[in-house]
Amino acid sequence: MTLVADPVEQLLADKSLNSDQHRMLMLVQRNVSILLRLVNQILDFRKYENGKMEYTSLPLDLLSCFESWNESFQAAARKKHIHFSFDNMPDTDYHTLGDVEKLERIYFNLLSNAFKFTPENGRVTVRLLAFTKEGQRWLRFTVANTGSLISAEHIRNIFDRFYKIDMHHAGSGIGLALVKAFVELHGGAITVESDEKQGTVFTVELPAQTGHLNSLNEETVASITDYQVDDLLSAEDKELEKGYDSSKPSILIIDDNEDIRSYVHGLLHSEYTVVEAANGSEGIRKAMKYVPDLIISDVMMPGIDGVECCRRLKSELQTCHIPIMLLTACSLDEQRIQGYDGGADSYISKPFSSQLLLSRVRNLIDSHRRLKQFFGDGQTLAKEDVCDIDKDFVERFKALIEEKLGDSNLNVEDLGKNMGLSRVQLYRKIKSLTNYSPNELLRIARLKKAASLLASSDMNVAEIGYEVGFSSPSYFTKCYKEQFGESPTDFLKRKG
């Protein structure tokens, strides 16, 4: 780990790095820190199992420690709109002896889990109190969060090492096992209760040990460890939609891991316009808004996961045509089958090669540039691999244009209203399916109808131009010549 972390730190000090290089190295450094923390947790757990865990007992005031540690979670509470409260019994002595570093690890693990599993606008509550058991003074604190339910089966195993409750959340499964080990090292006990009404409550009870009870000062408590909650909640979301360039193919990245989004964004932004979403709900909303050319989604996400996100997008008229690539760390065929059943177009496994990802992206976008000729050839729809929703959409759009062909005031807003889409949604949907804008398709339909009338009717050029919705004979003649390579008059002479 040293041979990774130290060279990265030295490279970051190089002033000649460009912004992309600096960003990539910051990504490496951040994840090296996460990996180092995980390795240290596993080593600590092995020390405990082998009876070699060091225990450094120092006098402390648990209330002062908790109040100091709570500051680290205020930003997390604001970002997820979680009501975070801390209650304690007034006029109570919370002095004891303990290993402050290990107590902090207990507290941070429990609070981090509570914030991770609490939905927006939920509650996280910590309560600290003192009580007497068998004539001895004890301290008890509870960490409660709303919105999560742990089944009886999971509760039985929750403190086992490497046991994970929910595959949709990142984590190693070592945190709670280590918490239990550290609590027992202090002679205490930890329990958990969970139901649909109150949510989940972890209760830690510790014997209040006596000794030279001068509490640690605030500076000492703050400097004991450099534990960060960066991996719980990242910095404020960046506005990724600035400078949206509609001239380039657009890609939506849906992933709850900000580092993954940033990494994929960095790979794609030079060739594509990239929009990001931090969860499935936001992803669906942005897919509807931007109608991108491709969606890349993680499978394992809290709330709406990638498979469900894919299923919903493939069932909506605005988005059913968009190819979706799922990213997964799981190699199980069952999961892939679920994704393909939900309409996924491709899978790519983590960790992935940047070249493989770029190649898949190009192929998916190229393979979906289709239906360019559907107005001229009735067999195109039958030949192409197009979902039923798109086939129905194309046929309805074609029928609408034929019905209103003679209306020279017909515009994209009117067409969108009739199709149940906004002007922007209609434009992007039609452009994705046909490579033409709605106005271009309308003009092509008018010209083909005009060609048919020139061949089969006795109307003159001006009458036919007005009949198919052109505002002037001269503009009709210009457009006809651009489309067919000869003027309507030349055609009539040749026919004649």
Q: Alpha carbon of 122 to those of 115, 234, 374: distances in Å?
A: 9, 19, 51
380-495 CATH: 1.10.10.60
Residue 13 tokens, joined: 């000090």
Sheet strand arrangement including 123-133: 83-88, 123-133, 136-145, 199-207, 189-195
Q: Which fold has domain 250-367?
A: Rossmann fold (3.40.50)
Residue 172 tokens, joined: 């190693």
Q: Where are the alpha helices (DSSP H) in 404-487?
A: 412-419, 423-434, 438-456, 461-467, 473-484
Q: Is the pLDDT of residue 224 over 60?
A: no
Q: Which fold has domain 55-223?
A: Heat Shock Protein 90 (3.30.565)
Rounded distance, CA 336 to CA 330, Å?
A: 9
Convert the pLDDT of each residue in 35-94 to its tens digit: 776 677 677 767 766 676 777 788 999 999 999 888 878 877 888 889 999 999 988 999
Maximum alpha-carbon separation in the chain: 116
Is 228:112 a contact under the CB 8 Å cutoff?
Answer: no
User: Which pLDDT score is estimated for 137?
Assistant: 92
User: Which pLDDT score is estimated for 416?
Assistant: 81
Rounded distance, CA 345 to CA 323, Å?
A: 6
Rounded distance, CA 31 to CA 25, Å?
A: 10
Rounded distance, CA 148 to CA 117, Å?
A: 6
Residue 103 tokens, joined: 């107590």
More confident residue, 104 or 131: 131
Tell me the mean pLDDT in the region 110-118: 87
Q: Is the pLDDT of residue 478 over 80?
A: yes
Burial class (CB in 10 A: 0-12, 13-18, 19+), 109: buried
Instruction: Give residue 297's pLDDT band: very low, low, confident or very high (50, 70, 90).
Output: very high
Q: Is the pLDDT of residue 127 over 90?
A: yes
Q: Which run of H or of E encompasses 172? A: none
Rounded distance, CA 453 to CA 484, Å?
A: 14
User: Which pLDDT score is estimated for 210?
Assistant: 62
* Residue 91 amino acid letter: D
